């Protein structure tokens, strides 16, 4: 073998040996780096930053230095030694010029230290090392935005526009910048652009645009609703409506979304939220939209329930027909018949409801049967046929005839004696039951037809007339007058007739000042006066309440109202 | 005004008329005790009820160390009414019961201090809203104690002479706006603040904001020297002292006045003019968010920042040292600490005559100090908001109706009432 051949052989042997050694060597280096980083992280977590720093620094020499650099940066900041970051970081940047995170760390550290000159130099060096790359502009703008330096961020974005020809790669930063500057509509426009490419940013858009002042919100809405329809923008607008307190308008943003799985998910989520908040009309619309894309019996039942709750029993019957149960009669009896019986009763078709319940009778437990009989009975009440209502309960057996529902029927007829006895059996605690129990306990005697008529009118859904009847009944039943007037006032509030309610509250306070309803009536009266801007009388009412009823549980609320009127606590704009 | 409101107004007039002659016609009990221990439902409003009683010319007493520093008020229908409206607990005391209380106080570290004249209160604060709250204005508003806001224009006009008690809070009297340029130079509120301060400086013929603030600080110093009561919190404590001691030195960085800080500023400070501190070292770097080494916690300087602990109020002799006793009346003696741009005061920078009212055991700093200066007195309380220990710029203001029994806020209100005390000569 000649000298050249021997040399070649030696090099090949060395290379081979180097390769044999290199593989385990790389693994060992990685292992060593991992060990160092873990140990350094432990020290950092226990607040021993000075001990962690040399370990992080050693780990930065390893094959994957990112975690070590981040730890190094954090620990140095904790002890105020940020100056020590730059030499090792610059070495790393020289080795890995394409690693954007390393440049970003340098920028944010220099910015935090207020080193304006070196900061500009670092940015320029990064731009020069990666021409045409939007990363330097994007990352620098982000750093500046995070520190609230909007003017400086704006300059960087303008540079990007000049250097790159557009800011399409920085739309998120542009959107955030404009929001930070209070340019809400311009920000919404930029968000539209950013969301078109990354719909997942909808929550970021909501966060940024949440402080939009009320007078500008319509312009933001128009921006997001403008054609072409963009799902990301629509989702963001729905989220914004939620945080602006106009959740109902969120549906306007969502309703026109193209029917696909993403939209169905958005509709179902919106519907669920509306369902939880008792916004039944919105829940029904959202679930209905989802159902039009894909039939789902479980969702259809929720939509039908929302329809009943929102006062559309006819729609409920169409949304969840009995046929959805298939051939499973037990399932139909358990899930569909109660809904249908209720809807039919509300529609004033108690006979059909009765027949339906009878058809599935064998599947019901006595308790379920009694509940359905009550639905049917209420159906008869709505038609004004009290005889049939009573018979429906009798037919349900002992559970029906002696039930709370029978107590209600007795009350409707003005039979206080029976009502007192049976209403106490109510298993569920509802405001209506509490009111009825309170009244029958307070009214003397065994009969009060005027009161019964008022409750019956309310049960038939005519709350405006019911309010008048409760008010009239107060004159005939002095013992329960304040409660009857308070009920009438509640109905007036529900009917958005605050002036009518104020008259009734005033009557309670002035004519029944010692009644249990007087403190709450006076508190409501004071709140209404405050809303109207009549601060002086509101204060007088609140002071009167506190001084006249010092042991009332409402006194703390009255004191808080007083503080709000007097603006002695934050957020007390009158 | 409707019939009810007219009737209420008439009733109020009648009550006031009765109140004016009420001393001649008290209720069966002679005095109302306003307990300030844990029996009190709303400690903060109790100060308002007491202050307003004095303001209306009624006599009151502060029972130092008796049930948390209780108050004694005349038992008048109007007093009971005000207490009931404010939710302040009161206990009627017959003459016999009052004698027992006085007897108990005579034999213990307690004393009764008559409160005579409600101090006229000014709070040094700009009219426009700033993105941070002011613990004193929150406390005064909540307690129902009236105050007058004053700022640079009023101080330059000489209005401080109209007041007995002046409060300073977050102001930077070095004119460097708390070095907020480090983090907020692009924030609209900061730029607006800079513009307004510069305009005020120009209006009063000053070259820069630091020059204006030095003059304002000088007038506040003179206010104390001439007999005023000064109460300061947070950054106002430290920067007022720096400004007074550095009256003839450039202690502002170039971002504030266009010229760098005098490199020898430390050695040129005249600490004889300062109220509370001596020999402090200025922070020279414009990029380090600290003013000097007066503050022990250095909250805005990573690496120097110290953790929060608790501070303990000293227990002074009520009979020998009533002023210090008044300032530390509380139903709690150990109180959680809270940050501010100046959180605490390092012991090494205190003047020998300073009275330390509260300190953190084992720490090189104190929290709450007091002293005399000329004919007046000053009290410094470190930190920003006693019920929001980490209060940050932009944080919502504290709702004191949720902190009615705050011992930290009580210390602020002690300062409002103590100028009302009829001074007793110090026996030591």
Phi, psi at residue B106, to the nearest 5°? -60, -30
Average pLDDT over residues B225-239: 96
Min CA distance, A112 vs chain B (Å)?
8
Give the 3-state DSSP-derived string for A74-137, with helices as H, strands as E and coil as C.
HHHHHHCCHHHHHHHHHHHHHHCCCCHHHHHHHHHHHHHCCCHHHHHHHHHHHHHHCCCCCHHH
B residues 316-375 lying closer than 8 A (beta carbon) to A: none
Q: Among B81, B144, B303, whose Cβ lies nearest the Cβ of A79?
A: B303
Which region holds residue A448: left if phi is over 0, alpha if psi is between -120 and 50, else beta? beta
Average pLDDT over residues A175-180: 82
According to the model, what pLDDT value does residue B24 have? 35
Is residue A36 within 8 A of residue A58, CB to CB? The reply is yes
Distance between CA A516 and CA A512 in Å, rounded? 9
Q: What is the pLDDT of residue A163?
A: 85
* DSSP 8-state symbol, B159: G
Q: Among partner residues A80, A149, A566, which is closest to B302 by beta-carbon distance?
A: A80
CB contact under 8 A, B303 and A560: no
H or E, element range at A243: helix A231-243
Contact check, Cβ <8 Å, A540/B8:
yes
Q: Which residues of A touch B87 (CB under 8 A)?
A: 555-556, 559
Task: Tell me if B400 and A152 make a contact (CB, 8 A cut-off).
Answer: no
Q: What average pLDDT does range B353-361 have in this prediction?
A: 95
- How far does chain A reach from its first CA to its final CA, in angstroms? 103
Q: Over the stretch A535-560, which tens digit does the pLDDT of each residue have? A: 999 999 999 999 999 999 999 999 99
Q: For residue A110, give the chain B residue with the closest CA.
A: B287
Evaluate if residue B47 carries a pLDDT over 60. Answer: yes
pLDDT tens readout for residues A72-87: 999 998 888 888 999 9
Query: How do strand B229-233 and strand B376-381 relate by DSSP bridges?
Result: parallel
Structure tokens belonging to residue A34 = 């991992």
Q: How many Å apart are CA B124 and CA B122, to the nearest integer?
A: 6
Indicate whether A20 pLDDT > 50.
Answer: no
Q: Which residue of A has its CA nearest to B41?
A: A556
Least confident range of A120-129, A221-230, A458-467, B5-14: B5-14
Structure tokens at A106: 């340098």
**Which residues, other chains included, contact B172 with Cβ-Cβ below 8 Å and sequence gap of 6+?**
B178, B179, B213, B235, B236, B239, B291
B401:A563 CB<8 A: yes
Given CB atoms, is A465 within the 8 Å cutoff of chain B? no
Cβ-Cβ contacts under 8 Å, A541 against chain B = 4
Q: Which of B89, B176, B186 to mutate to test the interface with A (most CBs of A within 10 A)?
A: B186
Q: What is the pLDDT of residue A2?
A: 45
A499 contact residues in B (CB cutoff 8 A): none
Residues in chain A with CB shorter than 8 Å from the CB of B8 are 537, 540, 543-544
CA distance B367 to B370: 10
Q: Is A562 on the interface with B (CB under 8 A)?
A: yes
pLDDT of amino acid A393: 80
For residue B218, is pLDDT > 80? yes
Hey, of A569, A572, A573, which one would you mutate to test binding to chain B, going by the most B CBs within 10 A of its CB?
A: A569
Query: Which residue matches tokens 């249990």?
Result: A516
Residues of A in contact with B2 (CB under 8 A): 537
Judged by phi (left if over 0) then psi (alpha if -120 to 50, else beta), residue A403 lies in beta
* Average pLDDT score over residue span A272-278: 87
Nearest to B1 among A115, A149, A536 (CB): A536
Q: How far is B8 from chain A (nearest CA, A)?
A: 6
**Which of A364-373, A537-546, B368-377 is the least confident region?**
A364-373
Is B401 at the interface with chain A, CB within 8 A? yes
Residues A373-399: what's their mean pLDDT? 81
Q: Specify the pLDDT at position B25.
A: 43
pLDDT tens for each residue of B255-275: 888 888 999 999 999 999 999
Helix (H) or strand (E) holding B205: none
Q: pLDDT-derived band of residue B397, with 50, 70 and 90 as boundaries?
A: confident
Chain B's closest residue to A551, CA to CA, is B84
pLDDT at A24 exceeding the cut of 70 = no
Q: Does residue A7 have a pLDDT over 70?
A: no
Count of pairs with CB atoms under 8 A, one residue in A, one in B: 82
- B96: contact with A, CB 8 A cutoff: no
Tell me which residue of A318, A291, A293 sits closest to A304, measured CA to CA. A318
User: Contacts by A124-129 with C-beta closer than 8 Å and gap 24+?
Assistant: A127/A163, A129/A97
Q: What is the dihedral of CA A497, A503, A507, A513, to 10 degrees?
A: 80
B22-26, B98-102, B293-297 — which is least confidently predicted? B22-26
Contact A515/A482 with Cβ under 8 angstroms? yes
Cβ–Cβ gap A115/B287 under 8 Å: yes
Cβ contact B287–A114 (<8 Å): yes
Report chain B's mean pLDDT, rounded to a whole number.
89
B286–A149 C-beta distance less than 8 A: no
Which segments within B201-246 are labelled E, that is strand?
Answer: 229-233
């Amino acid at each position: 073998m000649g000298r050249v051949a021997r040399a070649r052989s030696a090099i090949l042997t060395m290379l081979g040996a180097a390769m044999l050694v290199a593989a385990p060597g790389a693994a060992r280096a990685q292992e060593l780096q991992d060990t160092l980083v873990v140990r350094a992280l432990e020290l950092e977590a226990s607040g021993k930053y000075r001990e962690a720093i040399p370990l992080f620094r050693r780990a930065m020499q390893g094959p994957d230095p990112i975690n070590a650099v981040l730890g190094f940066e954090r620990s140095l900041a904790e002890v105020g030694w940020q100056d020590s970051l730059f030499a090792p970081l610059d070495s790393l940047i020289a080795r890995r010029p394409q690693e954007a995170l390393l440049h970003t760390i340098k920028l944010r550290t220099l910015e935090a230290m207020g080193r304006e000159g070196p900061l500009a130099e670092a940015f320029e060096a990064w731009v020069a090392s990666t021409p045409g790359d939007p990363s330097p502009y994007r990352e620098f703008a982000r750093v500046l935005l995070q520190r609230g330096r909007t003017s400086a961020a704006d300059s960087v974005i303008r540079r990007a526009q000049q250097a790159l020809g557009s800011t399409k790669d920085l739309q998120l930063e542009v959107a955030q910048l404009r929001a930070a500057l209070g340019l809400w509509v311009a920000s919404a426009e930029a968000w539209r652009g950013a969301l078109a490419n990354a719909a997942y940013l909808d929550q970021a858009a909501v966060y940024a645009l949440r402080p939009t002042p009320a007078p500008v919100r319509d312009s933001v809405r128009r921006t997001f609703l403008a054609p072409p329809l963009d799902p990301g923008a629509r989702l963001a607008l729905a989220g914004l409506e939620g945080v602006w307190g106009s959740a109902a308008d969120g549906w306007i943003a969502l309703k026109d979304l193209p029917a696909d799985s993403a939209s169905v998910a958005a509709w179902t989520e919106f519907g669920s939220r509306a369902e939880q908040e008792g916004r039944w009309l919105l829940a029904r619309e959202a679930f209905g939209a989802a159902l039009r894309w894909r039939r789902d019996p479980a969702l259809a039942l929720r939509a039908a329930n929302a329809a009943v709750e929102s006062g559309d029993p006819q729609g409920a019957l169409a949304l969840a027909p009995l046929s959805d149960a298939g051939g499973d009669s037990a399932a139909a009896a358990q899930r569909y018949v109660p809904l249908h019986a209720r809807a039919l009763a509300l529609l004033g078709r108690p006979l059909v409801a009765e027949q339906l319940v009878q058809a599935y009778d064998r599947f019901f437990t006595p308790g379920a049967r009694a509940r359905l009989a009550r639905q049917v009975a209420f159906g008869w009440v709505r038609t004004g046929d009290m005889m049939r209502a009573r018979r429906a309960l009798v037919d349900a057996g002992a559970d029906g005839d002696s039930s709370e529902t029978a107590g209600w029927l007795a009350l409707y007829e003005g039979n206080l004696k029976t009502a007192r006895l049976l209403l106490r059996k109510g298993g569920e605690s509802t405001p209506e039951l509490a009111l009825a129990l309170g009244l029958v306990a307070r009214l003397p005697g065994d009969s009060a037809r005027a009161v019964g008529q008022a409750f019956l009118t309310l049960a038939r859904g005519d709350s405006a007339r019911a309010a008048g009847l409760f008010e009239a009944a107060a004159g005939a039943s002095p013992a329960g007058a304040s409660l009857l007037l308070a009920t009438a006032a509640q109905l007036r509030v529900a009917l958005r007739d605050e002036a009518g309610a104020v008259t009734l509250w005033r009557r309670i306070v002035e004519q029944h000042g010692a009644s249990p309803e007087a403190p709450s009536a006076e508190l409501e009266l004071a709140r209404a006066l405050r809303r109207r801007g009549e601060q002086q009388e509101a204060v007088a009412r609140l002071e009167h309440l506190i001084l006249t009823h010092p042991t009332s549980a409402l006194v703390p609320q009255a004191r808080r109202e007083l503080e709000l009127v007097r603006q002695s606590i934050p957020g007390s704009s009158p | 005004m409707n019939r009810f409101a007219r009737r209420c107004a008439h009733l109020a007039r009648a009550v006031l008329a009765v109140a004016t002659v009420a001393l001649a016609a008290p209720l069966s009990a002679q005095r109302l005790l306003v307990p300030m221990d844990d029996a009190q439902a709303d400690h903060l409003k109790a100060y308002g009820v007491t202050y307003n009683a004095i303001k209306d010319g009624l006599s009151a007493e502060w029972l130092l160390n008796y049930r948390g520093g209780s108050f004694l008020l005349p038992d008048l229908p109007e007093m009971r009414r005000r207490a009931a409206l404010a939710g302040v607990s009161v206990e009627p005391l017959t003459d016999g019961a009052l004698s027992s209380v006085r007897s108990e106080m005579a034999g213990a570290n307690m004393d009764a201090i008559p409160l005579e004249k409600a101090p006229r209160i000014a709070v040094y604060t700009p009219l426009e809203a700033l993105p941070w709250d002011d613990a004193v204005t929150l406390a005064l508003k909540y307690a129902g104690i009236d105050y007058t806001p004053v700022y640079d224009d009023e101080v330059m006009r000489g209005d401080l002479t109209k007041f007995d008690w002046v409060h300073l809070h977050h102001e930077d009297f070095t004119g460097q706006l708390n070095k907020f340029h480090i983090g907020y130079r692009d924030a609209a509120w900061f730029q607006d603040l800079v513009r307004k301060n510069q305009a005020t400086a120009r209006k009063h013929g000053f070259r820069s904001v630091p020059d204006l603030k030095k003059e304002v600080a000088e007038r506040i110093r003179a206010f104390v020297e001439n007999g005023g009561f000064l109460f300061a919190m947070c950054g106002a404590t430290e920067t007022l002292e720096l400004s007074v001691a550095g009256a003839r030195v450039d202690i502002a960085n170039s971002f504030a006045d266009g010229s760098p800080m005098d490199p020898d500023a430390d050695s040129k400070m005249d600490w004889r003019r300062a109220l509370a501190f001596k020999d402090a070292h200025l922070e020279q770097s414009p990029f380090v968010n600290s003013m000097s080494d007066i503050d022990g916690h250095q909250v805005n300087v990573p690496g120097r920042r110290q953790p929060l602990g608790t501070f303990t109020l000293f227990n002074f002799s009520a009979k020998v040292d009533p002023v210090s006793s008044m300032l530390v009346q509380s139903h709690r003696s150990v109180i959680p600490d809270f940050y501010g741009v100046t959180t605490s005061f390092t012991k090494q920078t205190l003047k020998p005559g300073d009275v330390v009212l509260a300190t953190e055991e084992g720490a090189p700093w104190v929290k709450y100090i007091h002293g005399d200066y000329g004919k007046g007195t000053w009290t410094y309380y470190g930190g920003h908001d006693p019920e929001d220990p980490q209060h940050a710029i932009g944080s919502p203001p504290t709702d004191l109706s949720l902190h009615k029994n705050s011992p930290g806020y009580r210390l602020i209100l002690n300062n409002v009432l103590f100028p009302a005390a009829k001074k007793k000569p110090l026996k030591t």
